[in-house]
Amino acid sequence: MARTLDQLIANENPEIVNRAQEKADAMLLELRLSEIRRLVEMTQAQMADALGVKQPTIAGMERGGQDLRLSSIKRYVEAIGGKVRLDVELPDGTHHGFPV
């Protein structure tokens, strides 16, 4: 019988699982930044103009492996007219959100 992904993860070293989760979270952030920009039909050049930076800066923000500051993400989202909210999940599973 085939095992589920949850079963495989449960049997893995927790340190390895945590490192993989951190990498996956970082990758999703970059994917989502470019997706947000595309949802408002902006090019990287247009986003750069809105932020007062050059297009390669936007490409760098959207590229994987970047450790972006929250303030940079906020400026990026506000440049398209959006707002940033931070959602904190505590160990007990509760969520607490607030505007940034």
In single-letter form, the type of residue at position 80 comes to I
- Residue 47 has a CB neighbour count (10 Å cut-off) of 24
Which pLDDT score is estimated for 30?
Answer: 59
The answer to whether residue 52 is domain-embedded is yes
CATH number, domain with residue 51: 1.10.260.40
6: tokens are 């949850």
pLDDT in tens, 34-89: 888 998 999 999 999 999 999 999 998 887 666 788 898 899 999 999 999 988 88
Which pLDDT score is estimated for 26?
Answer: 62
CA distance linking residue 30 with residue 36, whole number of Å: 10
Domain residues for the domain of 69 are: 14-99
The answer to whether residue 9 is domain-embedded is no
What single string gives the DSSP state of each residue in 33-48? HHHHHHHTT--HHHHH
Number of domains in the chain: 1
Which pLDDT score is estimated for 9?
Answer: 79
The answer to whether residue 7 is domain-embedded is no
| 34 contacts 68 by C-beta, under 8 angstroms | no
